[in-house]
Amino acid sequence: MTTQQTLITSPNLPHHDDVYEVLINAHAGLSDQQSSQLNAKLILVLANHIGCKDILSEAIALAAAKA
């Protein structure tokens, strides 16, 4: 099995509007604290799915640079 070893930074999410809607709906009715907790849990779940420290480090650096 071949796995992706670099961070994909070009658009790569089919049906991105649908995904955005799911994400927004997940936050509906939550307090700011609950929303932050949901985001933190989601990040950890996705980090586990990615499973590569180098890719995660690159993604964190990219996100921090654009923050």
Q: In the chain, where are the structural domains located?
A: 33-67
Cα angle for residues 26, 41, 24 (degrees, 5° grid): 20
- Neighbour-count burial of 29, counting CB atoms closer than 10 A to its CB (0-12 exposed, 13-18 middle, 19+ buried): exposed
**Amino acid found at 47:** A
Q: Which of 42, 59, 46, 48 is nearest to 6 (CA)?
A: 59
pLDDT of residue 19: 96
Check residue 66 and give its pLDDT. Answer: 76
pLDDT 10s per residue in the chain (67 long)? 456 689 999 999 999 999 999 999 999 999 999 999 999 999 999 999 999 999 999 999 999 997 7
Q: How does pLDDT run across 19-31, given as a tens digit for each residue?
A: 999 999 999 999 9
